[in-house]
Amino acid sequence: TELANQIAAGEVVERPASVVKELVENSLDAGATKMEIDIHRGGIEQIQICDNGCGISKEDLPLALARHATDKIASLEDLQSILSMGFRGEALASISSVSRLQLTSRPAEQEDAWQAYTEGRDMNVTIKPASHPVGSTIEVLNLFYNTPARRKFLRTEKTEWQYIDEVVRRLALSRFDVSISLSHNGKLLRQYVRVQSGSQRERRLLRLCGAPFLKQALALSFDHSGLSLKGWIAEANGPKMNEIQYFFINRRIIRDRVVNHAVRQAYEAISTGPKNPSYVLYLDIDPRQIDVNVHPTKQEVRFHQTRLVHDFIYHAITNALSHSAC
């Protein structure tokens, strides 16, 4: 099954940033309110995430690294699984098949921490006692060391770092209630502090999207027929702001044509200039109204009622923009 894992790894683990994404999502699933991410050499040499989540018990450590052992979709009716970020149960197995992976963890109810180690070819998990506070640390070393073809596809360390920075930015935008720090080559470069007040919210948005966005952004909050759209929208001026187009559905970042179309059309209906909108928007929708498991990286979605969602987004935005205009 090492081969199966490596094939699966191709779907989920494209580059260091995809590893970071999966690991952060696991920490979020584990209920972490704080995580420290340390990257070395664009994540090719080392990716380490330390969280204060629920931890993994000694017995579960080998299972966490086994493929599909944690697959939580028992049936399509299993809504909880759709709400939780991870439901495929293969990220850690896939990552460990193409790296050297070390997982140290301690759940609150366990006295001591334990550490599991695996490396690529060898699917055996070695477990030994360790020292660790409640929570988990996952360390991924030498990514793709045993799949040179895939390693060749990686870009420069700087570019891979930029991908990681962007992945973490998106995750930080999706969860203002979680503290995230991110360092590269031993230097602390990003610090997103957990938001507990309005001014902290602004500061975090400033750090994530920059001053020009914050200055221009119009806050938006619209609820109707069980749908909710919140966030910020601004006129993009300059290439930096053009890139700020983030849309989250139930806290998960999504790229979707229906959504893009609705946002753009709404913006064009109200705005006079030809410029692009920049936005950070959060749609909350009954999970039964969407299918999220369209793609392994879970960035695509299918709406059951496409027209309804499109029109809701359109109205939420035109409403906010036209009120601000007068």
260-267 long-range contacts, Cβ below 8 Å, gap at least 24? Answer: 261/310, 262/309, 262/310, 262/311, 262/313, 262/314, 262/317, 263/233, 263/313, 263/317, 265/314, 266/313, 266/314, 266/315, 266/316, 266/317, 266/318, 266/321, 267/233, 267/317, 267/321
Exposure class string for 289-312: b at 16+ Cβ within 10 A, else e: ebebbeebebeebebeeeeebbeb
Q: Which of 70, 104, 276, 278 binds ligand ADP (CB under 6 A)?
A: 70
Give the x-and-dash track for 255-284 against Mg ion (CB under 5 A).
------------------------------
Q: Which of 86, 107, 135, 277 binds Mg ion (CB under 5 A)?
A: 86
Asked whether position 51 contacts ligand ADP by CB under 6 A, the answer is yes
Contacted entry of Mg ion, ligand ADP, none for residue 8, CB cut-off 5 to 8 Å set by kind: none
Asked whether position 285 contacts Mg ion by CB under 5 A, the answer is no
DSSP string, 165-224: HHHHHHHHHH-TTSEEEEEETTEEEEEEPPP-SHHHHHHHHHHHH-HHHHHHPEEEEEEE
Asked whether position 26 contacts ligand ADP by CB under 6 A, the answer is yes
Using the contact rule CB under 6 A, the part of the chain among 47-55, 181-189, 293-301, 302-310 near ligand ADP is: 47-55
> For ligand ADP, which is the closer residue by CB, 3 or 211?
3
What minimum distance in Å lies between the beta carbon of 264 and ligand ADP? 33
> For ligand ADP, which is the closer residue by CB, 210 or 287?
287
Which distant-in-sequence residues (6+ apart) come within 8 Å of 5 by Cβ? 67, 90, 93, 94, 96, 97, 123
What minimum distance in Å lies between the beta carbon of 93 and ligand ADP? 6
What minimum distance in Å lies between the beta carbon of 156 and Mg ion? 28
Q: Which of 6, 22, 140, 279 binds ligand ADP (CB under 6 A)?
A: 22
Tell me the C-alpha distance between 126 and 268, whole Å: 58
Contacted entry of Mg ion, ligand ADP, none for residue 54, CB cut-off 5 to 8 Å set by kind: ligand ADP
How does DSSP classify residue 276?
Answer: P
Give the x-and-dash track for 33-72 against Mg ion (CB under 5 A).
----------------------------------------
Residues at the site binding ligand ADP, with contacts judged by CB under 6 A: 22, 26-27, 29-30, 51, 53-56, 64, 70, 86-93, 136
Residues at the site binding Mg ion, with contacts judged by CB under 5 A: 26, 86, 91
